C-alpha cells in the first residue's frame, strides 16, 4: 500500500512540476535551460534520491552518449550536466501533451524512425544545435533497457559522430531503473551513479563504436556490483 501511495505521489509531483516548468519556459524561453536545471534538481528532493558523480565531463565533446533504463536518466543529466544539451528524442515524445511541450520549447531534436529521411534530418538538426553551442545527447540503444545489460547500439550515434566529426563523451548511469521504474511505475529511494568515461575521437579507431559498447557495459557491470 505504501509503495502504491508513493508511486501516485511521485506521478502527481512529476506532472505538476513539469507543468510549472513549461509555464516558466513559455514566459522566459531564452532561459529554458535554467528552468530545466531547477526542475531536475528539484526532483532529487521531491522523489527522494541522490546522485553520485564519478569523473568529469569533457566540455569540448559535442556528442553525449548514455545508456537508457528510465526517465530518471534524463532527470539526472538535466540536473548535473553544465551545458545546454539538445536531446535526441523519438517523435512520439514530441506528441505527448506535457513532455512534448518541454521538448518543443527547448528546441530538442525529433527523430521519426518511420521516415526514410530521418537520418538526413537528424544530421541537419544536430549540426544546427552544435553551431548554436549546444552538445547533442543521445541514447544509442534507441529505447529503454532493463538496467543490467546494454542493448545493441543503433547506428544513429555512430553516423552523427563520424559525419559531423564530433568528439564523443560516453556516460554510464547505474541504478536509475531501481529508483524510478518508469515502465512499471515503481519508485523507491536510492543513489543514481553517473560515470563519465574518457572522451573518444572516432578518427582514432575505426572500431570505436563496438569498443564504446564494450567499455560502457564493463563500467555498468562494475557500478552495479558496488
Sign of CA dihedral 155, 75, 193, 63: positive
Q: Which helix (H) or strand (E) is 125 found in, with range?
A: helix 118-131
Task: Tell me what pLDDT residue 24 has.
Answer: 93
pLDDT at residue 117 is higher than 70: yes
* pLDDT confidence tier of residue 1, bands split at 50, 70 and 90: low
pTM of structure = 0.92
Q: Which residues contact 10 (CB under 8 A, 6 or more apart)?
A: 46, 47, 180, 187
Q: Is residue 108 scored above 70 in pLDDT?
A: yes
**DSSP H or E run through 146:** none
Average pLDDT over residues 159-174: 97
Picking from 38, 74, 76, the residue whose alpha carbon sits closest to that of residue 54 is: 76
Output the pLDDT for position 93.
Answer: 78
Top-ranked range on mean pLDDT: pick from 55-59, 86-90, 114-118 = 55-59
When mean pLDDT is compared over 52-61, 136-145, 186-195, the highest value belongs to 52-61
CA 102/CA 85 separation, integer angstroms: 13
Architecture of domain 2-224: 3-Layer(aba) Sandwich (3.40)
Contact 143, 151 (CB under 8 A): yes
pLDDT in tens, 177-223: 999 887 777 888 899 999 999 999 999 999 999 999 999 999 999 99
Average pLDDT of the chain is 91
More confident residue, 115 or 98: 115
The domain spans of the chain are 2-224
Cα dihedral sign, 63-67-68-70 = negative
- Residue 28 is predicted with a pLDDT of 93
Q: What is the pLDDT of residues 27-43, one digit of tens each?
A: 998 999 999 999 999 99
Amino acid at each position: 500500500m505504501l509503495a502504491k501511495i508513493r508511486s501516485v505521489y511521485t506521478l502527481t509531483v512529476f506532472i505538476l512540476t513539469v507543468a510549472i516548468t513549461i509555464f516558466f519556459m513559455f514566459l522566459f524561453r531564452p532561459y529554458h535551460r535554467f528552468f530545466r536545471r531547477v526542475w531536475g534538481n528539484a526532483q532529487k528532493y521531491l522523489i527522494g534520491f541522490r546522485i553520485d558523480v564519478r569523473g568529469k565531463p569533457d566540455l569540448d565533446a559535442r556528442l553525449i552518449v548514455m545508456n537508457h533504463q528510465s526517465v530518471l536518466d534524463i532527470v539526472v543529466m538535466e540536473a548535473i550536466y553544465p551545458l545546454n544539451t539538445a536531446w535526441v528524442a523519438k517523435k512520439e515524445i514530441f506528441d505527448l501533451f506535457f513532455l512534448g511541450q518541454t521538448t518543443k520549447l527547448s528546441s530538442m531534436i525529433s527523430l521519426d524512425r518511420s521516415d526514410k529521411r530521418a537520418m538526413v534530418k537528424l544530421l541537419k538538426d544536430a549540426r544546427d544545435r552544435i553551431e548554436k553551442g549546444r552538445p547533442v545527447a543521445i541514447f544509442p540503444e534507441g529505447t529503454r533497457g532493463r538496467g543490467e545489460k546494454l542493448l545493441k547500439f543503433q547506428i544513429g550515434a555512430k553516423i552523427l559522430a563520424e559525419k559531423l566529426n564530433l568528439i564523443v563523451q560516453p556516460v554510464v548511469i547505474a541504478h536509475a531503473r531501481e529508483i524510478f521504474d518508469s515502465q512499471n511505475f515503481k519508485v523507491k529511494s536510492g543513489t543514481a551513479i553517473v560515470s563519465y568515461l574518457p572522451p573518444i575521437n572516432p578518427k582514432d579507431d575505426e572500431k570505436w563504436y563496438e569498443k564504446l559498447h564494450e567499455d560502457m557495459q564493463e563500467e555498468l557491470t562494475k557500478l552495479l556490483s558496488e
